[in-house]
Homo-oligomer: A and B are copies of this chain.
Amino acid sequence: MSAIARLLNPRSIAVIGASGDPQKLTGRPLAYLQKHGFRGAIYPVNPRLPAIPGLICYPDVAALPVAPDLGLVLLGEERVEAAVRALAAKGAGAAIVLASGYAETGEEGAKRQAALKEAAGPMRLLGPNAIGFVNVTDRVIVSASGALELGDLPAGRISVVSQSGGILGALLSRAADRGIGFAKLVSTGNEADLDTAEILEALLDDPSTAVLAVYMEGLRRPAAFRHAAERAARLGKPIVVFKVGRSEAGARSATSHTGALAGTDRLYDALFEQLGIIRAETFDALIDIPAALAAGYRAKGSRVAVLTSTGGAGTLLADCCGLAGLELPAPDPQTQARLAALLGGGKASAPTNPVDVTLAGLRPDLLRAAMAALLESPLYDSLIVVAGASALAQPSLAADAALACRSASDKPILAFVSPHAPEVVRLFQARGIPAMTAPETCASVLAALSRPPAERAPSVPRRVMGSTMPPLPAGPLNEAESKALFVRFGIAAVRGIVATDAAAAEAAARQLGGKIVLKLLSRRISHKSDLGGVRLGLAPGEIAPACAAMRAAAAARGLDLEGFLVEEQIAGGIEMILGLQRDPQLGPAVLIGFGGIAAELLGDTALRLLPIAPRDAAAMVEELKSAPLLAGYRGVPKRDRAALIDAILAFAEMAEALGDRLIEAEINPLFVLHDGNGVRAADGVIVLRD
């Protein structure tokens, strides 16, 4: 039995600092354990209490009769470390620490947190600053969350990992109200030891967990998380994440809440995209998307039929569906004929989607038959039923019809309830039809169900060339050295010759022929253009004076040149940027964008974390709004998209091979030539550390 399994399903629990008063924070966990039917042994530890009704109370951890599977530490921060040390000495499997005042408060707190981790020794630690966990499956509730005042905790197949304890309570109570149940909910807090990734791995092994919902403030071990997500994809257990830190205010707050290091939110988007993780855009969706997935729903595509008993709400929902990227094609002629035969003339037989069954919708048999017709049409991948004011008079009408159709189709059926009618929502939910009251949420849930499931193959690099890496000096490489490295990894550079003096440069120009680009060569000058260090369109005769001018400009600033780079001038290329972005939290990522203002001012760039797979590189290109420039926009010739994708992969491979040595890498511009002609690195830089 793994330590985490022992943590989540303990046979014995010691509650350190337990109070006998269930109104107190320190009294709640005992009360909840008993109330929700924990079947194991409970050992309260409190030197000031002889007993707690029905339980023997122990003066200290050392006095416990056994080594408990789990110790729950409810003490104030100043007494926590000793208690944790005592639990470890006693041989406890794991400890949960509720106290706050650790890494989230700054440097001093981080030191206390490190000491706490050290005190735990081989014993596993959940927290500090964690509210505990709720194992609904086995009725083990080890938490101080006020949300556990709830009378009944419905069991379900969704498990939650939350870096915030308060949010865990919010999810629990909000879902319970809608009849949505959970398997396990774990609050990880500051994650001094057990973190989101490791808890996820454990929950993947839990047979009662089918879907994972994660509330995230920041990721401490991206590689471990990646591993868990890839395993989840192989197991067919989808992960839905709601992550804060999308705004600066949120990121700052997350840091002071659980000490989370937020990282760049866009890179989280990239990470989730790469791993096939569904990102919930609203807090509600963190309940509703997992609930729909747990109902076993996946749509094969994005074409939805909307069946409504009220035109206005149908239009409202259709609008939200369209915004969420879903399609609402009008019924095919066959389906339309079936609907007309069922529902008669008028609105219901108009070739529109939503299908409006205003009056006919009041007859159960007709409603059922209309739903069946839409579900059986090959044109649709899913169905949303809209319940209007008429549902107030006949609350179960649409829910019963949907239930009758459910077994005959594997297409998702969702419900949108337009008036305030919580009983109608619950009737749908009770029949396994996810029901929503916000049209935006309903649309985004269906959009999530319509995404292709995460691919099973992990993102692996295409090839490894790193083993043949030459010795490279620390610091910036000069342009020629940088390009040589790009070339080594398979990214073509423009033809060029390094010349140490003007005469050699002129000779090189004659050798290359045609119009020439002349650049100064220096690893110490990062903005050549500012020094007049880049000249375009030169003839061989113009080279020598240009060299002299460059040397003079550099000398004026006290800089020596290493020489000159003489290159052919390329025509017909589109300028792109291919670069590395390094996030302190998530690690290195590859960035692409078009040159000029598109990337810089308009933010039209695409990012993926290393390592990337070929499909990631292709997706990056797709993601650029400026991508039509490559495809032959406005009569301009088509460019070599395949070579660009290849260059992205090669660049990523280079970054992986250089590993932690790589501080900076950028090709700017990378010319993407006419289709079939490849790409050329026209300028670029590499900076390495020792």
Residues of A whose CB lies within 8 Å of any CB of B are 23, 100-101, 105, 145-147, 149, 162-170, 173-174, 176-177, 215, 217, 244-254, 256-258, 282-284, 310-316, 318-323, 326-328, 346-347, 350, 352-354, 356, 358, 388-390, 392-393, 418-421, 438-440, 594, 596-598, 601-604, 625-626, 628-629, 633
Contacts and interface: CB of A to CB of B under 8 A. Distances in A.
B284 A315 contact: no
A330 to B, nearest CB: 8
19 contacts: A23-B393, A146-B389, A147-B419, A166-B312, A166-B389, A169-B388, A169-B418, A170-B388, A170-B419, A174-B419, A246-B319, A249-B327, A250-B315, A250-B322, A257-B312, A257-B315, A283-B440, A601-B629, A603-B625
A307 to B, nearest CB: 13
A137 to B, nearest CB: 22
A101 B345 CA distance: 11
Most chain B beta-carbon contacts within 10 A, residue among A174, A176, A217, A311 = A311
B323 A247 contact: yes
A634 to B, nearest CB: 8
Nearest to A440: B282
Contacts of A176: 420
B315 A418 contact: no
Most chain B beta-carbon contacts within 10 A, residue among A101, A323, A393, A594 = A323
B253 A393 contact: no
Contacts of A626: 597, 601-602
- Which 3 A-B pairs give the minimum distances between C-beta atoms? A247-B322, A250-B319, A164-B312
Contact of A315 (B101, B253, B326, B604): B253
A174 B420 contact: yes
B350 A105 contact: yes
Nearest to A106: B350
Given A166-B418, A283-B439, 12 more contacts: A146-B393, A162-B312, A166-B312, A246-B322, A249-B327, A250-B321, A250-B322, A596-B596, A598-B598, A598-B601, A598-B602, A601-B625
| Copies of the chain in the assembly | 2
Contact of A248 (B248, B322, B352): B322
Contact of A169 (B215, B328, B419): B419
B629 A597 contact: yes
Contacts of A170: 312-313, 388-389, 418-420
Contacts of A390: 146
Contact of A167 (B257, B313, B352): B313
A244 B316 contact: yes
Contacts of A328: 249, 252-253
B246 A419 contact: no
A501 to B, nearest CB: 31
